[in-house]
Amino acid sequence: MEDIKELMLSRTWRIAFIIAALYVDAQNAQVVPALFIFGDSLVDVGNNNHIRLSLLKANFPHNGVDYPGGKATGRFSNGLNSADFLAQKLGFTGSPPPYLSLQGQANINSSIVKGVNFASGGAGILDENSGGSLSTNKQVEYYSTVYGNLVAQLGSAEAEKLVAKSLFLVVIGSNDLFGFFKSNSKLPAKYTPQQYTDLLISTFKGQLERIYNLGARKIATVGVGAIGCCPSQRSQKNKTGDCVEEENNMARNFNAGLKSLLSSQLTPNLQGLTYAFCNTYGVVSSYFQNPSVYGFKDVVNACCGAGKLNGRVACLPVVKYCSNRGEYLFWDLYHPTQIASQMLVDAFYEGSADQVSPINVKQLIST
């Protein structure tokens, strides 16, 4: 009798263990078939490494000091960036690979089936604001090629089904706004701030429509942050070191235009399209207003750099970087630290309506 009890107990424990293991697997399971990423340096995971003539690279120390192995990978961060953290949230074992790293690879089909990252540091909505980077138009062009490869690999119906269930992340616009405010910019002579914002939104509309026409149905768009509060802008354009309000005004106007585009123009006219608008400006503004609440001790200076606010010289191997990186909002002149990127993704993934609307990313992938 005791032997039977012991056997039953051992079986009970084994069953409990299996159920627990299945639960963990379910929690960590990939919740979308693929993740496709478009954007700029905030989500570039190494595309610019493969652009020979580009000066906008981050594949050198001190970038990557907190990345596994302390390796500089081309991410404009001390460690992981938002693309990495979103991939983790979705259950992927790693970020989708940079598109340019796949060129010439024999196993490219097996790589693209779980998604691709097209983002490029320095990219803009407008081609003329993208310099030697992959503009949004070029990124969409490359995605068209990937979609064609998926159709050839899986067949039209299966490729369409995979893409429709996948998540598309788009993080773009900051470089276009920075371009307007450059000291040598010719843009203010051609456009008023409102005309320029309207141009960006109308151009972006066409780009999102092209992605939709190539199968995208779930799109997470990330609004522009408070660009006037970056260490570079504070240090160079404001003697007091305060935020540059003119730049922040344009960021707010761009975000308002993007929200209107999504809700009033695209969703009513593109059948099956669902989206989440990630309110970067609002979330980051809360960090500026109450830094200690979020664990920050410094939301003004860059951790890595030199000059006023560490915002005059980029994060080059010759400069110093802070030891308490988890307490800084900014890693360098423009980019957030690893911890800030993680916090932003947390907010967008399961956040409230003031952080992400009309639904959050977790709800978006469930539609």
Active-site residue 298, yes or no? no
Q: Measured between alpha carbons, how far apart are the two ends of the chain, in Å?
A: 53
d(CA 181, CA 187): 8
Q: Is residue 282 within 8 Å of residue 255, measured between CB atoms?
A: no
Q: Is residue 311 within 8 Å of residue 234, measured between CB atoms?
A: yes
Given 40, 41, 84, 133, the catalytic residue: 41
Residues 210, 193, 334: CA angle, nearest 5 degrees: 75
d(CA 25, CA 82): 23
If you ran DSSP here, which 8-state letter would residue 91 be given?
T
Active-site residue 335, yes or no? yes
DSSP H or E stretch at residue 35: strand 35-39
Angle between helical axes of 338-350 and 82-89 (0-180°, round to 10): 40
d(CA 81, CA 15): 39
Beta pairing, strands 218-222 & 320-321: unpaired
Active-site residue 41, yes or no? yes
If you ran DSSP here, which 8-state letter would residue 124 be given?
-
Neighbouring-strand partners of residue 305: 320
Identify residue 329 by its one-letter amino acid code.
L
Sign of CA pseudo-dihedral 188, 193, 199, 204: positive
Q: What is the length of the chain?
A: 367
Given 84, 166, 335, 341, the catalytic residue: 335
Given 84, 176, 332, 341, the catalytic residue: 332
Give me the active site residues, please: 41, 332, 335
